[in-house]
Amino acid sequence: MIFMREWKWNMKALVIWCVVMSGLILLTLSIFPQFAQQQKEMTKLLEAYPESMKKVFGMNELNMGELLGFYAVEIYMMTTLLGSIYSAILASSILAKEENEKTIEFLLSKPVTRSRIVTEKLLAVFVNILIFNGVSTMASIVGFQFAKNPDVPVSTFSLLVVATMLLHLTFGAISFLLSASMRKTRNILSISLGIVLAAYFLHVMAGISEDLEFLKYFTPFKYVDAAPIINDKQLEPLYVVVMAVVILISVAMSYVVYKKKDIVV
């Protein structure tokens, strides 16, 4: 009951985000054939970019004349950042809105436990993030067909997909915990988006200067950096463990906090 209500409630936003994201992916990948044909001119243009900027976006380690390199620089940044913003928006209000909209009294009057409320809403977050990532992946696969030789290594591309999904789940879990802990949806949304943008800012700063490289340990965006994934053909196990631990702790704490929360009806 709760899951289906959340599914219907969030469907419109999911469709909009999927359509926009798919459109951006297809539009950007449609440029690749022209980019590849003019690779020499584009390479000269990219050489004029500051070294710090090339390092931030992996342009110094990836060949943008290849389809996967172009995807990593132009598309992967969009899917990771915009998907994280979507995950934060989705999860940040899903629990707290019941108190804000005075519907929690109706929910608690039904034969449902708080644990069930958390479980079904958490499931709704997971399913929405999974669908968003699935649609983005399909749009990418379709967009690859614009290239004359769409030969993308399946295993490497799959690693990028898994990394993106883990990143979105990480921010989704953190925002879900905030939603379980706080009351005002506007405050939760502001903090959730602030965490995402701050993490991305740290990612940029860590890439700009070697003196600030230590910041990479404090931002999940650095954990899923495309260049090392493509070049090493693997996800760094330590980073995967860190994100998994953050997700599990955030989910577990959501149950604990929401069960003890003094809910105002």
**Residue 12 resides in a domain:** yes
Mean pLDDT of the region 18-33: 93
DSSP readout, 157-198? HHHHHHHHHHHHHHHHHHHHHHHHH-S-HHHHHHHHHHHHHH
Q: What is the pLDDT of residue 137?
A: 96
| pLDDT tens digits, 61-85 | 777 778 888 899 889 989 999 999 9
Terminal-residue alpha carbon distance, the chain: 21
Kindly state whether residue 56 falls inside one of the protein's structural domains. Answer: yes
The pTM of this model reads: 0.90
Q: What percent of the chain has pLDDT over 70?
A: 86
Total domain count, the chain:
1
Asked if 221 and 200 count as a contact pair (C-beta separation under 8 A), the reply is yes
45 lies in which domain range?
A: 2-260
- 231 in a structural domain: yes
> What are the tokens at 131?
């669908």
Q: Is 125 exposed, middle or buried (0-12, 13-18, 19+ CB in 10 A)?
A: buried
> For the segment 187-219, what is each residue's pLDDT rounded down to a tens digit?
889 999 999 999 999 888 887 777 777 887 889
Q: Is residue 265 part of a domain?
A: no
In a domain, 18, yes or no: yes
Nearest to 120 by CA among 102, 86, 95: 95
Six-digit token string for 148: 């004359």
